[in-house]
């Protein structure tokens, strides 16, 4: 491997039933020093042989439903940025942005109804 190498390390703490309790991560080029804790992780990797996507989704027991829904909405919005940057497909990116906005409005209505 030539060039600069960066690392992303992820550690997952499981209970005796293999339920995710905590997620820790650090990256060698992160502006934050040290290990950060997270409540959820959505990792997608494209197989270099073109066989498809390998996906890992984890979340901790203490992540509430609102946080999970917000996480999904923000992930979709982030995918819009990725599509735009990687493919310059503004139509696909815009459709993802619209979906994220619609879901965000729906979640806000849901929150208001549950107050």
Q: What is the mean pLDDT of the chain?
A: 95
Average pLDDT in the 104-108 region?
98
- Specify the pLDDT at position 32: 77
Q: In the structure, what pLDDT confidence band is assigned to residue 1 with cuts at 50, 70 and 90?
A: low
Q: Which residues contact 60 (CB under 8 A, 6 or more apart)?
A: 20, 21, 22, 23, 39, 40
- pLDDT tens, 9-50? 999 999 999 999 999 999 988 777 789 999 999 999 998 887
Domain boundaries, the chain: 1-61, 64-115
Q: Is the pTM of this model over 0.95?
A: no
- pLDDT tens, 44-84? 999 888 789 999 999 999 999 999 999 999 999 999 999 99
Query: Interhelix angle for 65-87 vs 90-113, to 10°?
Result: 170
């Amino acid at each position: 491997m030539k060039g600069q190498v960066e690392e992303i390390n992820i550690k997952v703490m499981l209970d005796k039933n293999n339920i995710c309790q905590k997620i820790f991560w650090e990256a060698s080029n992160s502006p934050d020093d040290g290990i950060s804790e997270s409540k959820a992780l959505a990792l997608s990797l494209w197989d270099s042989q073109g066989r498809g996507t390998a996906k890992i989704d984890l979340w901790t027991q203490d992540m509430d439903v609102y946080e999970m829904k917000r996480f999904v909405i923000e992930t979709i919005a982030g995918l819009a940025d990725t599509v735009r940057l990687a493919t310059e497909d503004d139509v696909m990116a815009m459709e993802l942005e619209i979906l994220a906005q619609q879901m965000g409005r729906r979640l806000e209505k849901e929150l208001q109804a549950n107050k």
